[in-house]
Structure 1
Amino acid sequence: MSKINLSVLDQSQIRRGSNAAEALLESGKLAQLAEQLDYVRFWVSEHHNFKLVAGTAPEVLIPYLASLTKKLRIGSGGIMLPNHSTLKMAENFGILSTLFPGRIDLGIGRAPGGDRLSAYLLNPSNTFSEADFLQQLKDIQAFLSGSQEDGSVMEKVQAYPQPEILPEYWLLTSSGGSAQFAAHLGMGLSFAHFINPNGGDETAEFYRHNFKPSEYLTEPKVNVGIFGFCSEDEEKVRDWITDFQFRMLFIEMGGQGEFPSLEQIKKMSFTLQQQARMVYNKGRFIAGTPDQMKAELNKLSEKYETDEIMIATPAESWEDRKKSYELFKSVV
């Protein structure tokens, strides 16, 4: 592969002893750092009903981050479109693309971003059907481009403002199901390796083979997202892995109660089922020294045949998080 480009996926995770306000302010600091380091893009996620994550509304967080930066692409990773009115999301991203032309990415996902009850409360008409999602994808592109196709609702209803420069369209997938939609509609594809470490290369190949050029994208475009941590201190790497492995278990167990300290986690015993899950979760992140991370990034790039990798780095220290992103950038 050619030179690897790096991007940031930020979930505004709340550290121990911190709060949502501090997490969101840190997202702003991280966006500014990413711009200084020449990262390509900065995406924020949509999560619901989980107290350790402050990122619930990308459409609200994106303008804050864009106002703090000048050239960095800012976007959603992603908007969980079935949770929302398509017209309203088109208006939101029409405004964003008008305010920050050429800098906005509209990354779209189909997952609930949480549990089914939360998804129902966000949008009681959500059927969770593929056909409805495909129609939403077609509609949001039509609304944003100002289409007035005969027989469509756009003959009577338009989304304003209609931006001069449209956002970049990306479809997010972890199972591979949305790859067919991305290929059919001529959108970029982002594979969430940090959710599912298996089958992503086959999904990317399917997408490329079936890609149909669109007015938005003439060639297939793939990026891959992964959790990652880089440090020159091997003890910090080991501690991060221990802490992060438990964080993933904690999320999978429903995230109830207080999040324990690292010292408490080190003293814990885990069931065979939890140990098996931790073995599986090793595939969802990369962590190590700069030389090790250079090799891991190259492996990911070759596996997915992409020159863009998105890194999500939760950490209990801002300095460790900052240093990790600096080190990742230094090795590509």
Structure 2
Amino acid sequence: MKLGMLDQSPIPAGQTAREALVASARLAQLGEELGYTRYWIAEHHDLQGLASSVPEVMLGYIGAQTKSIRIGSGAVLLPHYRPYKVAETYNLLATLFPGRIDIGIGRAPGGSAEATTALSGRFLEEVWKLPDSIRELLHFLHGDFPEDHLYAKVKAAPVPDIPPEPWLLGTSGKSAKLAAELGISYAFGQFMSDKNGADLLRMYHESFQGGRGARPQSLLTVSVICAETAERAEEIAASSLLWRVLQAKGEGSGVPSIEEAKLYPYSPEEQSMVQQMKESMLIGDPQTVKKQLLSLREASGADEMMMVTITHDFADRLQSYRLLARELL
């Protein structure tokens, strides 16, 4: 099975953003050592407890400390940016790290309404234009604008020997259809969607329209916490679950400790929220999580399973990825 990593650069309570970003590089190095296919880092803006606001900077930092694992954005939130600048940025990365760069494309704001306004000022307008913006980005990446186009002679320099591989990231049928129509790879974020990712990935593969020699390629991203025993996995997951409860209330900052999670006085509503979140996560010992991942892959037809794992203790996060590599790679 192909396995990938999605990293949101979470900041554990009591630690700094710098420590979280250095840990992200170590996570990518571990992925490379264990045989993971790719490592993506997310983009968030002024969200408490998350350190990565500029993935392209982190990719330069991480690329310089790894040798073979594919690295990319999960995702570039394209409505905030002009396609030409995005193409230049990722072409430069692909020049530095040949054959290793993915460019995940998303449409989410990635932060509060105020942060969104500060970034672009016209986010909603740009969201409606997203299909055209992606098409423009693809033309810049492949240098194939029509001869009569305004940008026909504009190069997104430096032009790498191997272009970045574009992926569309989404959580709905709309994004799956767009990826198929554009003929690009598709990543479904099951960890942040209540839609049936298996159904949507099958729809993507069945309706894929080849372009530029591309073939359909998909991955399914799930939230995973794996430990030596099911009991230990549940214990570790408690801090991540509490963090999401506190985020929903606009409280807290970094990922709380396991001890804090054990002592937290959950209200009935919060207990219900935790149970709902757990239903969309894979939590357990290696054999249990392995079976769940294999089942999801079979149901969806995904070419790759990508995992996002958030824990308070970085060692627990590394161990989760390590245990699953032993089972599946």
TM-score range, shorter chain: over 0.9
CA distance in structure 2 between the aligned counterparts of 1:319 and 1:147, rounded to whole angstroms: 46
2:239 corresponding residue in structure 1? 243
Gaps of 5+ in 1: none
Q: Give 2:288's match in structure 1, choosing from 288, 292, 304.
A: 292
Whole-angstrom CA distance in 2 between matches of 1:258 and 1:280: 22
Q: 1:92 aligns with which of 76, 89, 93?
A: 89
The alpha carbon displacement at 1:104 in A equals: 0.1
- Taking a change above 3 Å as real, the CA distance of residues 150 and 156 of structure 1, as seen in their structure-2 partners, is same
CA deviations 1:223-280 (Å, max 9, x no partner) are 0111111111444212122212112222222345676543343233434433332222
Name the CA distance, whole Å, in 1 between partners of 2:208 and 2:89: 28
Task: Tell me the TM-score normalised to structure 2 length.
Answer: 0.94
What is the aligned counterpart of 2:71 among 46, 71, 74?
74
Counterpart in the other structure of 1:268: 264
2:160 corresponds, among 159, 163, 167, to 163
- Distance change in 2, residues 1:231/1:257 (3 Å): closer
Secondary structure of residue in 2 paired with 1:314:
coil
Aligned twin of 2:37 = 40
Are residues 1:253 and 2:235 paired?
A: no
> CA 1:250–1:216 in 2, change beyond 3 Å: closer, same or farther?
farther
- Displacement after TM superposition at 1:327 (Å): 0.4
From 221, 225, 250, the counterpart of 1:225: 221
Distance (whole Å) between structure 1 residues aligned to residue 6 and residue 41 of structure 2: 6
Is the 8 Å Cα contact of residues 187 and 216 (structure 1) preserved in structure 2? no
Q: Which amino acid aligns with 1:96?
A: L
Identity of aligned residues (%): 34
Equivalent residue letter for 1:295: K
Is the CA contact (8 Å cut-off) linking 1:174 and 1:191 kept in structure 2?
yes
Query: In the TM superposition, what whole-angstrom CA distance separates every residue of 1:135-175 from its partner, at most 9, and x where no partner exists?
Result: 11011111121223144331354321222211111100112
Distance in 2 (alpha carbons) for counterparts of 1:150 and 1:131: 26
Which deviates further from its counterpart, 144-153 or 32-41? 144-153
Tell me how far apart the structure 1 counterparts of residues 273 and 300 of structure 2 sit (CA, whole Å).
Answer: 24
AA partner of residue 141 (structure 1): L
Identify the residue that residue 179 of structure 1 maps to in structure 2.
Answer: 176
Query: SS at 1:52's partner residue?
Result: coil
State the alpha-carbon separation in 1 of the partners of residues 284 and 37 from structure 2.
23
1:121–1:31 Cα change, 3 Å: same
Per-residue CA deviations over 1:72-109 (Å, capped at 9, x if unaligned) read: 00001111110112111111011011111110000110
Q: 1:303 and 1:197, CA in 2 relative to 1: closer, same or farther beyond 3 A? A: farther
Alpha-carbon contact 1:187-1:220 (below 8 Å) kept = yes
Structure 1 residues 147, 196: closer, same or farther in 2, change over 3 A? same
The equivalences for 1:43-192 within 5 A come to: 43-128=40-125, 130-155=127-152, 157-192=154-189
Please give the secondary structure, in 2, of the residue aligned with 1:178: helix
SS at match of 1:16: coil
Offset, 1:331? 1.1
Query: For 2:303 and 2:129, how far apart are their aligned partners in 1?
Result: 32
Counterpart AA for 1:300: L
Secondary structure of the structure 1 residue equivalent to 2:168: strand
Q: Which amino acid aligns with 2:14?
A: G
What is the rounded CA distance, in whole Å, between the counterparts of 1:258 and 1:220 in structure 2? Answer: 38
The separation in 2 between residues aligned to 1:42 and 1:258, in whole angstroms, is 22
More deviation in 125-134 or 298-307? Answer: 125-134
Instruction: Tell me the CA shift for residue 314 of structure 1.
Output: 1.5
- RMSD of aligned alpha carbons: 1.8
How far apart, CA to CA, are the structure 2 residues paired with 1:260 and 1:103? 34
Partner of 1:320: 316
Query: Would the aligned equivalents of 1:174 and 1:195 in 2 still touch at CA under 8 Å?
Result: yes
Cα distance in 1 for residues equivalent to 2:319 and 2:253: 30
Larger mean CA deviation between 40-49 and 243-252 belongs to: 243-252
Equivalent residue number for residue 306 of structure 1: 302
Structure 2 distance, partners of 1:169, 1:294, is 28
Q: Do 2:145 and 2:151's aligned partners in 1 also have CA atoms closer than 8 Å?
A: yes
Secondary structure at the residue paired with 1:17?
A: coil
Could you say if the C-alpha distance between residues 258 and 89 of structure 1 is closer, same or farther in structure 2, counting changes exceeding 3 Å? closer
Counterpart residue identity of residue 99, structure 1? L
Query: 2:12 corresponds to which residue?
Result: 15
